[in-house]
Amino acid sequence: MGSAGIILAVNIAVASMFAASYVIVALTNRSQRAALWFGATYVIGIISPVGDFLSVFVDAPRLLEWMSYAGFLTATLSMSASFAIFHGQRPAWRRIGAIFVGGLISRVWIWGLPNDTLAYNFAYQIPLALASLQAVRSVLRVGERNAFHVALATIFGAIAASLMLKPFLAVRYGSGANLQDYSRTSYALMSQASTGFLLLAAGIVLLLIVAQRAISVTQHESETDTLSGLANRRGFDRQAQELCARAARRGQPVAVAVFDLDHFKQINDSYGHQTGDAVIASFGKLLRANAPPQAVVGRLGGEEFAMLIPEATARHAHQRAERIRLAAQSASRGDVVAATVSGGVAQRSAGETLAELLRRADQALYKAKSDGRDRICAPDVADATQDSASNVLPFARARQTATLS
């Protein structure tokens, strides 16, 4: 076995490990089932070096040459489709299919021609390069693109460039008259080493993308309140700290509104926790629907909620909170549990911590409660009109599974 054969064996082993890694990630993490596509891609990719490797031992050149070519082409196109599926997008099946069919036609067309010409080698490599560029396109089309995605696109771009360089190397160093001769050439050593290195780099970056997604999903689940669908206290504090830090760096205002469902204990005592849970869930939905897109919204515990709004003054936050109060009040009319809401608003002062900001908003909330509930208190807004208590009863006609909306 020559040096090229050793590199082929290493490439097979590395591809097998990557395939196993993606399968393990997918099977041990339900949210990462799409990683199975990457595992399947690497299984297909193993076909190509296996075909080259077996050419030394098996006298079936036509079969092995097709295995080598079709395996690499299919795996590269499969990577494009897998990446799109992993990110919840529809693969460009028509483009992928056209490259695949074009590659097969090109391979048939050059069958039997001399291997040491530029025409032969370009016809061989161009479909593979197009497949690599299709992978670049799939990576760059992802909306949540980050540094790993850019790195992966760069690697597949380098693979495409290396494939287009190979015809010159094949002519310069000789690629052998057939697949068996190819495995003994210096060109095979250079070709397998360069492609193997780039695919190893792509596999590592891709594995990092999958791991990052798994960590993000786990973090999101650990920081989400399952009842309301909002961030829990842990998630709210982390996101709010980041938002406050960004606002401080940019010199932008930040305001917070805290809410508390009025007479919630009486709702639980009179109608049971199932109805209380429904009220919590419905108010969470209402809060999400009425919060600004960049706001951090969370359930701090029990029946208390908070909404941190970037680039907002106390007046803006008061107006937003008042809109939410009125929406809750309106939703409370009818044959449902009437759960009005009280709120407190505060604007962050220079150097003030998140805890201090929330403490001032809580103080405003307590004043709203003591003044009769169903109102928003905003001490930071000098001329804010404080709404008087409405005539909505603490809770009206109820049914056990009623909600706010």
Domain with CATH 1.20.1070 in the chain: 3-222
pLDDT digits (tens, 9 = 90+) for 71-99: 999 999 999 999 999 998 999 999 999 99
pLDDT digits (tens, 9 = 90+) for 336-376: 566 889 999 999 998 899 999 999 999 999 999 999 999 99
The average pLDDT across 229-253 equals 93
pLDDT, position 401:
35
Per-residue pLDDT at 394 exceeds 50? no
pLDDT, position 180:
62
303 is catalytic: yes
Kindly indicate the confidence band of residue 405, based on its pLDDT and cuts at 50, 70 and 90.
very low
Kindly indicate the confidence band of residue 4, based on its pLDDT and cuts at 50, 70 and 90.
low
Q: Would you state the torsion angle of the CA atoms of residues 136, 141, 142, 144, taken in this order, to the nearest 10 degrees? A: 110
Question: Which one of 65, 223, 242, 303 is the catalytic residue?
Answer: 303
CATH of 233-377, one of 3.60.21.10, 3.30.70.270, 3.40.50.1370, 3.20.20.210: 3.30.70.270
| CB crowding 71-110: b at 16 or more within 10 Å, else e | bbbbbbbbbbbbbbbbbeeebbeeebeebbeebeebbeeb
Percent of the chain with pLDDT over 90: 52
The average pLDDT across 281-297 equals 92
Most confidently modeled range among 6-20, 177-191, 278-292: 278-292
Distance of alpha carbon 296 from alpha carbon 350, whole angstroms: 20
- Give me the chain's average pLDDT, please: 85
Per-residue pLDDT at 318 exceeds 50? yes
Direct distance between the N- and C-terminal alpha carbons of the chain, in angstroms, rounded to an integer: 73
From 126-135, 151-160, 264-273, 312-321, the region with the lowest mean pLDDT: 264-273
The arrangement of secondary structure in 3-222, i.e. its CATH architecture, is Up-down Bundle (1.20)
Tokens of 145: 């693109």
